[in-house]
Amino acid sequence: MVNKFLIAIAAVVAVMAALVLAPGFNSNRQQSATTDQTQQVSLEYSRQQLARTESGSLAAAAAEVLTIENDGSATYTKVGGQLDGRKFTVSEEEMKQLRARILGTGFMQIPETDYSQQEGLANFTKYTLKLQAGGDLKTISWVNPGAHAGTIPPIITNVGELLDSIISRHV
């Protein structure tokens, strides 16, 4: 019995070693990682601070829009009493992180969704991400996690946090 178990373990180890060392398997994995880093990605990310008015409707107290093109050129616009537009370049490292979070995590397979706010909230932030990666277009909207009745997948909030950090570093 023990000998059969040891033989089975040795066979599994041998198969795993063959897969790692096989040239075709390794090159496909490296090619996939390279393709993800060179695939076209552009996006528009907006944040709106929403507040309930005396009439009960929601109004934007402030709005921000960040657009990033595939080459790293970016424009940030803030509307909230004044119009403020700034242009800057997202670093290659930041673009690499964006591509990894968007293309390497399954983000593009998430269905287009709107994670809306709970009823009756007075103040919350709404985020919208319009994304083009390769030939695929995707729009996902969500609110800050405390304003949603359920759970917003971390794959979405992680991309939002990265975009928020890009804004804070460049603006």
Q: What is the pLDDT of residues 113-138, one digit of tens each?
A: 899 998 888 899 999 999 999 888 99
Q: Please, are residues 66 and 75 in contact by the beta-carbon 8 Å criterion? A: yes
Is the pLDDT at 23 greater than 90? The verdict is: no
Mean pLDDT of 17-41: 50
**Collapsing DSSP states into helix, strand and coil, what is residue 170?**
helix
Confidence at residue 28, expressed as pLDDT on a 0 to 100 scale: 40
pLDDT > 90 fraction of the chain, expressed in percent and rounded: 54
Nearest to 141 by CA among 115, 117, 119: 115
Mean pLDDT of 17-36: 44
pLDDT confidence band for 100 (50 / 70 / 90):
very high
Stated length of the chain: 171
- Mean pLDDT, rounded, of the chain: 82
Name the residue with higher pLDDT: 36 or 38: 38
In one-letter notation, the amino acid at residue 75 is: T
Residue-wise pLDDT for 57-99, tens only, equals 888 889 999 999 999 999 999 986 565 789 999 999 999 999 9
pLDDT for res 85: 83
Residues 6+ apart with CB under 8 A from 163: 43, 45, 66, 98, 129
Among 43, 47, 44, smallest CA distance to 61 is for 47
Strand partners of residue 124: 50
pLDDT at 34: 39
- State yes or no: pLDDT of 27 exceeds 90: no
Q: Taking the model in full, what pTM does it have?
A: 0.75
Mean pLDDT to the nearest integer, 143-165: 94
